Amino acid sequence: MANWKKLAMFGTSALLLAACGNGGGTDEGTDNGAAPEEGGDEEQFTISMVTDTGGVDDRSFNESAWEGMQEWAEENDLSEDAVSYYQSDTESDYVPNLNNATNDGHDIIYGIGFLLEDPIQTIAEQNPDRMYGIVDSVVDLDNVVSLNFNDHENSYLAGMAAALTTETDKVGFIGGIEGPIIDRFQTGFTEGVAAVDDSIEVDIQYANSFSDTAAGQQIAAAMYSNGADVIFHASGAVGNGVFQEARNRMEDGSDIDLWVIGVDQDQEAEGEWADGNVTLASTIKKVGQAIKLSANEAKDGNFKGGENISYGFAEDGIDFTRGFIEDEAWEQIEEAREQITNGELEVKEFTYTEVEDAE
Protein backbone atom coordinates (compact mmCIF):
# COMPACT_ATOMS: atom_id res chain seq x y z
CA MET A 1 0.00 0.00 0.00
CA ALA A 2 1.39 3.37 -0.99
CA ASN A 3 0.94 6.62 0.80
CA TRP A 4 2.26 10.12 0.30
CA LYS A 5 4.68 11.38 2.89
CA LYS A 6 5.90 14.95 3.02
CA LEU A 7 9.63 15.06 3.51
CA ALA A 8 10.83 16.85 6.62
CA MET A 9 11.67 20.46 5.84
CA PHE A 10 14.54 21.38 8.08
CA GLY A 11 14.86 25.13 8.26
CA THR A 12 18.51 24.62 9.02
CA SER A 13 19.40 21.60 6.87
CA ALA A 14 21.56 21.57 3.77
CA LEU A 15 24.21 20.51 1.46
CA LEU A 16 27.13 22.40 2.80
CA LEU A 17 30.59 23.55 2.25
CA ALA A 18 33.27 22.64 4.67
CA ALA A 19 36.84 23.71 4.96
CA CYS A 20 39.80 22.13 6.62
CA GLY A 21 41.89 24.68 8.37
CA ASN A 22 44.49 24.09 11.03
CA GLY A 23 42.15 22.56 13.55
CA GLY A 24 38.96 23.45 15.38
CA GLY A 25 36.06 25.64 14.47
CA THR A 26 37.57 28.88 15.69
CA ASP A 27 41.15 28.40 14.51
CA GLU A 28 42.64 31.27 12.58
CA GLY A 29 45.20 31.32 9.78
CA THR A 30 45.91 32.51 6.26
CA ASP A 31 43.16 30.35 4.80
CA ASN A 32 40.79 29.98 7.72
CA GLY A 33 39.96 33.24 9.30
CA ALA A 34 42.79 35.73 8.94
CA ALA A 35 41.78 39.31 9.58
CA PRO A 36 41.84 41.59 6.51
CA GLU A 37 45.26 42.80 5.46
CA GLU A 38 45.89 46.49 5.18
CA GLY A 39 47.53 47.44 1.91
CA GLY A 40 48.78 50.87 0.90
CA ASP A 41 46.46 53.73 1.75
CA GLU A 42 43.33 51.62 2.09
CA GLU A 43 42.20 48.20 3.22
CA GLN A 44 41.48 45.72 0.46
CA PHE A 45 37.93 44.39 0.10
CA THR A 46 37.75 41.00 1.79
CA ILE A 47 35.29 38.11 1.77
CA SER A 48 35.05 35.00 3.91
CA MET A 49 32.94 31.91 4.26
CA VAL A 50 31.83 29.72 7.16
CA THR A 51 31.82 26.06 6.23
CA ASP A 52 30.07 22.95 7.42
CA THR A 53 31.82 19.79 8.52
CA GLY A 54 32.55 18.15 5.16
CA GLY A 55 35.89 19.80 4.44
CA VAL A 56 37.10 22.37 1.94
CA ASP A 57 38.80 19.53 0.07
CA ASP A 58 35.66 17.39 -0.15
CA ARG A 59 36.01 17.35 -3.96
CA SER A 60 32.42 18.55 -4.14
CA PHE A 61 30.27 21.52 -3.05
CA ASN A 62 32.64 22.92 -0.44
CA GLU A 63 35.68 22.81 -2.63
CA SER A 64 33.83 24.55 -5.45
CA ALA A 65 32.96 27.50 -3.22
CA TRP A 66 36.47 27.91 -1.87
CA GLU A 67 38.01 27.66 -5.35
CA GLY A 68 35.61 30.35 -6.55
CA MET A 69 36.66 32.68 -3.74
CA GLN A 70 40.34 32.17 -4.54
CA GLU A 71 39.68 32.87 -8.23
CA TRP A 72 37.80 36.04 -7.23
CA ALA A 73 40.84 37.35 -5.34
CA GLU A 74 43.13 36.62 -8.27
CA GLU A 75 40.79 38.17 -10.84
CA ASN A 76 40.58 41.34 -8.73
CA ASP A 77 44.37 41.52 -8.22
CA LEU A 78 43.96 41.10 -4.47
CA SER A 79 46.29 39.27 -2.13
CA GLU A 80 45.50 35.78 -0.86
CA ASP A 81 44.48 37.36 2.45
CA ALA A 82 41.43 38.86 0.71
CA VAL A 83 39.66 35.51 1.08
CA SER A 84 39.37 33.21 4.05
CA TYR A 85 37.30 30.39 5.48
CA TYR A 86 36.25 29.42 8.99
CA GLN A 87 36.14 25.68 9.61
CA SER A 88 33.12 24.31 11.44
CA ASP A 89 34.01 20.98 13.00
CA THR A 90 30.52 20.65 14.49
CA GLU A 91 27.23 22.47 13.97
CA SER A 92 27.82 24.28 17.26
CA ASP A 93 30.70 26.13 15.55
CA TYR A 94 28.45 28.00 13.11
CA VAL A 95 27.48 30.95 15.30
CA PRO A 96 30.95 31.41 16.89
CA ASN A 97 32.56 31.27 13.45
CA LEU A 98 30.12 33.82 12.04
CA ASN A 99 30.83 36.04 15.03
CA ASN A 100 34.58 35.67 14.49
CA ALA A 101 34.27 36.49 10.80
CA THR A 102 32.18 39.55 11.66
CA ASN A 103 34.58 40.73 14.34
CA ASP A 104 37.55 40.18 12.03
CA GLY A 105 36.07 42.81 9.72
CA HIS A 106 35.47 40.91 6.49
CA ASP A 107 33.33 42.94 4.10
CA ILE A 108 30.94 40.14 3.15
CA ILE A 109 30.55 36.79 4.88
CA TYR A 110 28.94 33.73 3.27
CA GLY A 111 27.32 30.80 5.04
CA ILE A 112 27.73 27.80 2.79
CA GLY A 113 24.73 25.52 2.83
CA PHE A 114 21.25 25.60 4.25
CA LEU A 115 22.32 24.32 7.66
CA LEU A 116 23.63 27.84 8.23
CA GLU A 117 20.25 29.47 7.58
CA ASP A 118 19.38 30.08 11.23
CA PRO A 119 22.93 31.08 12.28
CA ILE A 120 23.11 33.63 9.43
CA GLN A 121 19.66 34.94 10.39
CA THR A 122 20.80 35.40 13.99
CA ILE A 123 24.13 37.10 13.28
CA ALA A 124 22.79 39.27 10.45
CA GLU A 125 19.98 40.56 12.68
CA GLN A 126 22.56 41.47 15.32
CA ASN A 127 24.73 43.28 12.74
CA PRO A 128 22.34 45.10 10.38
CA ASP A 129 25.12 47.27 8.92
CA ARG A 130 27.19 44.28 7.76
CA MET A 131 26.81 42.24 4.55
CA TYR A 132 26.13 38.50 4.53
CA GLY A 133 25.27 35.79 2.02
CA ILE A 134 23.62 32.38 2.32
CA VAL A 135 24.03 29.56 -0.20
CA ASP A 136 21.23 27.04 -0.71
CA SER A 137 18.70 28.76 1.50
CA VAL A 138 16.80 32.03 1.90
CA VAL A 139 17.24 34.57 4.69
CA ASP A 140 14.79 37.42 4.25
CA LEU A 141 16.86 40.33 5.57
CA ASP A 142 18.04 43.46 3.80
CA ASN A 143 21.68 42.71 4.64
CA VAL A 144 21.63 39.12 3.35
CA VAL A 145 21.78 37.97 -0.28
CA SER A 146 20.43 34.45 -0.90
CA LEU A 147 22.08 32.35 -3.62
CA ASN A 148 20.16 29.27 -4.77
CA PHE A 149 20.38 26.71 -7.57
CA ASN A 150 17.88 24.73 -9.64
CA ASP A 151 19.44 21.40 -8.67
CA HIS A 152 16.36 19.53 -9.88
CA GLU A 153 17.15 20.54 -13.46
CA ASN A 154 20.55 18.88 -13.82
CA SER A 155 19.47 16.05 -11.50
CA TYR A 156 16.76 15.30 -14.08
CA LEU A 157 19.52 14.78 -16.65
CA ALA A 158 21.33 12.56 -14.14
CA GLY A 159 18.19 10.46 -13.89
CA MET A 160 17.95 10.17 -17.65
CA ALA A 161 21.61 9.16 -17.84
CA ALA A 162 21.12 6.49 -15.19
CA ALA A 163 18.02 5.09 -16.91
CA LEU A 164 19.67 5.06 -20.33
CA THR A 165 22.77 3.32 -18.95
CA THR A 166 21.50 0.74 -16.46
CA GLU A 167 21.71 -2.91 -17.47
CA THR A 168 19.79 -4.15 -14.42
CA ASP A 169 16.82 -1.77 -14.48
CA LYS A 170 17.71 -0.76 -10.93
CA VAL A 171 19.48 2.44 -9.92
CA GLY A 172 20.19 4.22 -6.65
CA PHE A 173 20.12 7.67 -5.05
CA ILE A 174 22.17 8.47 -1.94
CA GLY A 175 21.41 11.76 -0.19
CA GLY A 176 23.25 13.45 2.64
CA ILE A 177 20.71 14.89 5.09
CA GLU A 178 17.00 15.00 4.29
CA GLY A 179 15.63 18.46 3.63
CA PRO A 180 14.39 20.71 0.82
CA ILE A 181 17.74 21.04 -0.96
CA ILE A 182 18.56 17.35 -1.22
CA ASP A 183 14.91 16.59 -1.92
CA ARG A 184 15.34 18.74 -5.01
CA PHE A 185 18.17 16.47 -6.20
CA GLN A 186 16.17 13.35 -5.40
CA THR A 187 13.01 14.54 -7.13
CA GLY A 188 14.80 15.68 -10.27
CA PHE A 189 16.64 12.36 -10.45
CA THR A 190 13.55 10.19 -10.03
CA GLU A 191 11.64 12.31 -12.55
CA GLY A 192 14.45 11.88 -15.08
CA VAL A 193 14.53 8.12 -14.59
CA ALA A 194 10.76 7.86 -15.01
CA ALA A 195 10.83 9.99 -18.16
CA VAL A 196 12.97 7.33 -19.81
CA ASP A 197 11.36 4.22 -18.30
CA ASP A 198 9.01 4.34 -15.33
CA SER A 199 9.50 0.62 -14.67
CA ILE A 200 13.10 1.15 -13.54
CA GLU A 201 13.43 0.76 -9.77
CA VAL A 202 15.05 3.61 -7.81
CA ASP A 203 16.52 2.74 -4.40
CA ILE A 204 16.62 5.89 -2.22
CA GLN A 205 18.78 6.06 0.91
CA TYR A 206 20.12 8.84 3.15
CA ALA A 207 23.39 8.88 5.10
CA ASN A 208 22.23 11.48 7.65
CA SER A 209 25.59 13.17 7.11
CA PHE A 210 27.58 15.14 4.58
CA SER A 211 30.95 13.92 5.85
CA ASP A 212 30.65 10.22 6.82
CA THR A 213 32.48 8.46 3.98
CA ALA A 214 32.11 5.08 5.69
CA ALA A 215 28.33 5.45 5.63
CA GLY A 216 28.46 6.29 1.94
CA GLN A 217 30.49 3.18 1.19
CA GLN A 218 28.20 0.99 3.30
CA ILE A 219 25.03 2.25 1.60
CA ALA A 220 26.60 1.89 -1.85
CA ALA A 221 27.70 -1.66 -1.05
CA ALA A 222 24.14 -2.62 -0.15
CA MET A 223 22.73 -0.98 -3.29
CA TYR A 224 25.21 -2.67 -5.63
CA SER A 225 24.67 -6.03 -3.88
CA ASN A 226 20.91 -5.62 -4.36
CA GLY A 227 21.28 -5.12 -8.10
CA ALA A 228 21.70 -1.39 -8.69
CA ASP A 229 24.41 -0.61 -11.22
CA VAL A 230 24.21 3.22 -11.31
CA ILE A 231 24.17 5.41 -8.18
CA PHE A 232 23.69 9.17 -8.08
CA HIS A 233 24.92 10.74 -4.86
CA ALA A 234 24.04 14.19 -3.50
CA SER A 235 25.89 13.85 -0.24
CA GLY A 236 29.07 15.92 -0.17
CA ALA A 237 32.07 14.03 1.18
CA VAL A 238 29.85 10.99 1.87
CA GLY A 239 30.11 10.41 -1.87
CA ASN A 240 33.82 9.64 -1.57
CA GLY A 241 32.78 6.36 0.03
CA VAL A 242 30.37 5.66 -2.84
CA PHE A 243 33.17 6.06 -5.36
CA GLN A 244 35.44 3.86 -3.23
CA GLU A 245 32.92 1.03 -3.21
CA ALA A 246 32.37 1.20 -6.97
CA ARG A 247 36.12 1.21 -7.65
CA ASN A 248 36.72 -1.69 -5.27
CA ARG A 249 34.07 -3.83 -6.93
CA MET A 250 35.35 -3.11 -10.42
CA GLU A 251 38.91 -3.92 -9.35
CA ASP A 252 37.62 -7.17 -7.82
CA GLY A 253 36.14 -8.20 -11.18
CA SER A 254 32.47 -7.16 -11.12
CA ASP A 255 30.41 -9.06 -13.69
CA ILE A 256 28.73 -5.82 -14.80
CA ASP A 257 29.85 -2.24 -15.16
CA LEU A 258 29.16 -0.20 -12.03
CA TRP A 259 28.72 3.55 -12.19
CA VAL A 260 28.51 6.63 -9.96
CA ILE A 261 27.09 10.00 -10.99
CA GLY A 262 28.99 12.78 -9.24
CA VAL A 263 27.66 16.00 -7.78
CA ASP A 264 28.53 19.72 -7.62
CA GLN A 265 31.90 19.37 -9.39
CA ASP A 266 33.16 17.22 -12.25
CA GLN A 267 34.06 14.12 -10.23
CA GLU A 268 35.58 12.10 -13.05
CA ALA A 269 38.92 11.93 -11.23
CA GLU A 270 37.22 10.28 -8.26
CA GLY A 271 36.15 7.37 -10.44
CA GLU A 272 39.55 6.37 -11.79
CA TRP A 273 40.73 2.82 -11.20
CA ALA A 274 43.41 0.67 -12.82
CA ASP A 275 41.45 -0.30 -15.94
CA GLY A 276 38.85 2.41 -16.29
CA ASN A 277 36.59 4.91 -14.59
CA VAL A 278 33.33 4.51 -12.65
CA THR A 279 32.17 8.14 -12.97
CA LEU A 280 29.37 8.06 -15.52
CA ALA A 281 28.83 11.85 -15.43
CA SER A 282 28.50 14.70 -12.93
CA THR A 283 25.98 17.40 -12.09
CA ILE A 284 27.75 20.75 -11.79
CA LYS A 285 26.70 23.45 -9.36
CA LYS A 286 28.58 26.68 -10.01
CA VAL A 287 28.75 27.83 -6.40
CA GLY A 288 32.08 29.51 -6.88
CA GLN A 289 30.82 31.48 -9.87
CA ALA A 290 27.75 32.66 -7.95
CA ILE A 291 29.92 33.82 -5.05
CA LYS A 292 32.26 35.64 -7.44
CA LEU A 293 29.35 37.52 -9.03
CA SER A 294 27.87 38.38 -5.64
CA ALA A 295 31.21 39.52 -4.21
CA ASN A 296 31.91 41.74 -7.22
CA GLU A 297 28.49 43.36 -6.85
CA ALA A 298 29.15 44.04 -3.18
CA LYS A 299 32.64 45.34 -3.91
CA ASP A 300 31.24 47.73 -6.55
CA GLY A 301 28.57 49.06 -4.19
CA ASN A 302 25.71 47.06 -5.73
CA PHE A 303 25.13 44.50 -2.97
CA LYS A 304 21.83 42.70 -3.59
CA GLY A 305 20.78 42.35 0.01
CA GLY A 306 17.22 41.11 0.49
CA GLU A 307 17.18 39.33 -2.89
CA ASN A 308 16.85 35.61 -3.59
CA ILE A 309 18.85 34.85 -6.74
CA SER A 310 18.30 31.49 -8.46
CA TYR A 311 20.68 29.90 -10.95
CA GLY A 312 19.58 27.20 -13.39
CA PHE A 313 20.47 26.15 -16.93
CA ALA A 314 19.02 29.38 -18.31
CA GLU A 315 21.29 31.44 -16.04
CA ASP A 316 24.37 29.24 -16.68
CA GLY A 317 24.47 28.46 -12.97
CA ILE A 318 24.45 24.67 -13.34
CA ASP A 319 25.75 22.12 -15.84
CA PHE A 320 25.93 18.41 -16.60
CA THR A 321 29.03 16.64 -17.90
CA ARG A 322 29.00 13.98 -20.58
CA GLY A 323 31.56 11.72 -18.93
CA PHE A 324 31.17 8.21 -20.34
CA ILE A 325 27.60 8.46 -21.58
CA GLU A 326 26.96 6.72 -24.91
CA ASP A 327 26.28 8.80 -28.04
CA GLU A 328 22.60 7.93 -28.46
CA ALA A 329 21.85 8.53 -24.79
CA TRP A 330 23.73 11.84 -24.86
CA GLU A 331 21.63 13.07 -27.77
CA GLN A 332 18.46 12.52 -25.74
CA ILE A 333 19.98 14.21 -22.69
CA GLU A 334 21.10 17.23 -24.72
CA GLU A 335 17.61 17.56 -26.17
CA ALA A 336 16.12 17.56 -22.67
CA ARG A 337 18.69 20.12 -21.49
CA GLU A 338 17.69 22.45 -24.33
CA GLN A 339 14.00 22.03 -23.50
CA ILE A 340 14.62 22.84 -19.83
CA THR A 341 16.74 25.87 -20.72
CA ASN A 342 14.08 27.21 -23.09
CA GLY A 343 11.25 26.59 -20.66
CA GLU A 344 9.64 23.90 -22.82
CA LEU A 345 10.19 21.26 -20.15
CA GLU A 346 9.39 22.06 -16.53
CA VAL A 347 10.97 19.69 -14.03
CA LYS A 348 9.13 18.92 -10.81
CA GLU A 349 11.09 20.54 -8.01
CA PHE A 350 10.44 18.84 -4.69
CA THR A 351 8.39 18.22 -1.55
CA TYR A 352 6.59 14.91 -1.86
CA THR A 353 7.90 11.41 -2.33
CA GLU A 354 5.96 8.18 -2.54
CA VAL A 355 6.99 5.63 0.07
CA GLU A 356 5.81 2.07 0.47
CA ASP A 357 4.43 1.04 3.85
CA ALA A 358 6.06 -2.10 5.20
CA GLU A 359 3.42 -4.76 5.53
Co-location of 243 and 200 in the same domain: yes
Residue at a domain's end among 149, 184, 213? 149
Co-location of 231 and 145 in the same domain: no
Q: Does a structural domain hold residue 293?
A: no
Residue 123's domain spans which residues? Answer: 38-149
Co-location of 93 and 203 in the same domain: no
Co-location of 87 and 174 in the same domain: no
Q: Does a structural domain hold residue 324?
A: yes
Q: Does a structural domain hold residue 19?
A: no
Q: What is the pLDDT of residue 56?
A: 74
Residue at a domain's end among 118, 149, 180? 149
Q: Does a structural domain hold residue 1?
A: no
What radius of gyration do the chain's Cα atoms show?
20
Number of domains forming the structure of the chain: 2
Q: Give the residue-averaged pLDDT of 109-124.
A: 95
**Least confident among 23-37, 161-175, 221-235, 306-320:** 23-37
pLDDT score of 213 more than 80:
yes
pLDDT score of 356 more than 90:
no
**Least confident among 5-14, 206-215, 290-299:** 5-14
Strand 272-273 and strand 276-277: the pairing is antiparallel
Q: Which residues pair with 206 in a beta bridge?
A: 175
Co-location of 327 and 201 in the same domain: yes
Q: How many residues does the chain have?
A: 359
Co-location of 99 and 171 in the same domain: no
Co-location of 112 and 165 in the same domain: no
- Give the three-class secondary structure for 339: helix
With a pLDDT cut of 70, the percent of the chain lying above it is: 84
Q: Does a structural domain hold residue 358?
A: no
Q: How far apart (Å, rounded) are the C-alpha atoms in residues 14 and 178?
A: 8
- CATH number of residue 169's parent domain: 3.40.50.2300
- pLDDT digits 0-9 by tens, 136-179: 999 999 999 999 999 999 999 999 999 999 999 999 999 999 99
Q: What is the pLDDT of residue 42?
A: 57
Q: How does residue 88 score in pLDDT terms, banded at 50, 70 and 90?
A: confident
Q: Does a structural domain hold residue 157?
A: yes
Q: How far apart (Å, rounded) are the C-alpha atoms in residues 141 and 128?
A: 9
Co-location of 159 and 116 in the same domain: no
Co-location of 339 and 192 in the same domain: yes
- pLDDT digits 0-9 by tens, 335-353: 999 999 999 999 999 754 4
Residue at a domain's end among 149, 179, 210? 149
Q: How far apart (Å, rounded) are the C-alpha atoms in residues 234 and 152?
A: 11
Q: Does a structural domain hold residue 202?
A: yes
Q: What is the pLDDT of residue 63?
A: 82
Co-location of 182 and 43 in the same domain: no
